[in-house]
Amino acid sequence: MKKSIITCCVAMLFSLFSTAQPFNLTVNNNAYQYLNNPISLNNGLTWDDPYFTIPLGFNFNYFGRQIDTVLIAYGYGGTLIMSLTGNGIASFLSPFGADLIDRGYRFSSGPGNPGSLSPISYQLSGIQGNRILKIEWQNAGFYSDLQVNGSSALDSINFQLWFYENGSSFEVHIGPNYIGSPSLSYDGFPGPDILLAPSVDLVNGVFSSNYYCLDGNPLSPTFQTRNPNDTLLFINGNIPNGTVYRFTPSVVGEGERQKSKPILLYPNPTSGLLNIESKKPLRSIDVYDLQGSLRLSLEPNQSTFELSELNKGIYLIVVKVENSQYVEKIQIIEN
């Protein structure tokens, strides 16, 4: 079994349980791993303002709409149209809002030519009920940087967007990046935007309901609710390699249930990294397979654990807290 190369797995949790917001945000740090043999969308051809259709492989709930397909569209290279109605109203998701372009693009010849240096691809993994659709932008460049510096342009970004079938959560994974000319690459803004918009009027190019975006420090951003006429907010600076933004749907009363729940395990399913939160000191943490064999004993004075030495599958985690014992089921999907 392939060993994990994760060297830093300190979880930084910043959750918002306000009923005014449809998602809770958590921020973690996890080693970035490129997709292995994904399905290509641009097939080696250069792109600018691409238009790609991506099947999720399952139904996903985004702002109350069930979707099974997303579109990379509407310019900028990393903007997704999540749903579209006949009257030109769409829901948007921007995992890395900047004017992206293929680093092999040449303005003299335009898009759709051989020589792409920035593949866009996707991959579906997991078993039915617990699948993940992963979209990857690899070595993407920035329009203004390429326009000004030509083949000498160096700025680039790697990132992935993960959609979880179980629970309709999604994650933005930031990978290796170099932004040496931020004023060019971010077009004068302090950094990229990360945007969730349930309703955008495509005809007039305006928000038609409240939208949501991240603001401030990339390692501890605030998740802001914005009115349609409010200006868009941005991440302040470059997002470090390994940063993961996880968005989990809020439900009525979730705050109270979180307060009463004795332990919390996430993410589930996991690719090997597991966080355990408890309101009381942990005494022991043991991982069993479904045959009842003990596979791992974890150090209870930690909060983040590496499970990548386990094979893919379903396991039971037995957590002892003071005089109580709790059993949780967890699925390892890949490592």
Residue at a domain's end among 225, 249, 273: 249
The single-letter code of the amino acid at 323 is N
One domain for residues 240 and 265: no
Rounded distance between C-alpha atoms, residue 100 and residue 144, angstroms: 9
Report the pLDDT value the prediction gives residue 20, as an integer from 0 to 100. Answer: 46
Report the pLDDT value the prediction gives residue 216, as an integer from 0 to 100. Answer: 96
Report the pLDDT value the prediction gives residue 146, as an integer from 0 to 100. Answer: 97
One domain for residues 160 and 289: no
One domain for residues 303 and 242: no
Report the pLDDT value the prediction gives residue 65, as an integer from 0 to 100. Answer: 83
Report the pLDDT value the prediction gives residue 334, as an integer from 0 to 100. Answer: 58
One domain for residues 203 and 270: no
Weakly modelled stretches of the chain, pLDDT under 50: 1-20, 252-260
One domain for residues 174 and 41: yes
197: Cα within 13 Å, side-chain hemisphere = 30
Report the pLDDT value the prediction gives residue 261, as an integer from 0 to 100. Answer: 58
Triad 245, 168, 317: Cα angle to 5°: 80
Listing from the earlier edge strand, what are the strands of the sheet with 273-278?
A: 263-266, 273-278, 304-306
Q: Using one digit for the tens of pLDDT, what is the confidence trace for 149-207? A: 998 999 999 999 999 999 999 999 999 999 999 999 999 999 999 999 998 988 888 89
Rounded distance between C-alpha atoms, residue 286 and residue 268, angstroms: 17
Query: Domain residues for 98?
Result: 23-249
Decide if 124 is inside a domain. Answer: yes
For 293, residues 6+ apart whose C-beta sits below 8 A from its C-beta are none
Cα-to-chain-centroid distance, residue 56:
15
Report the pLDDT value the prediction gives residue 251, as an integer from 0 to 100. Answer: 57
C-alpha closest to that of 265 among 167, 174, 172, 127: 167
One domain for residues 296 and 222: no
Helix, strand, or coil here: 257?
Answer: helix
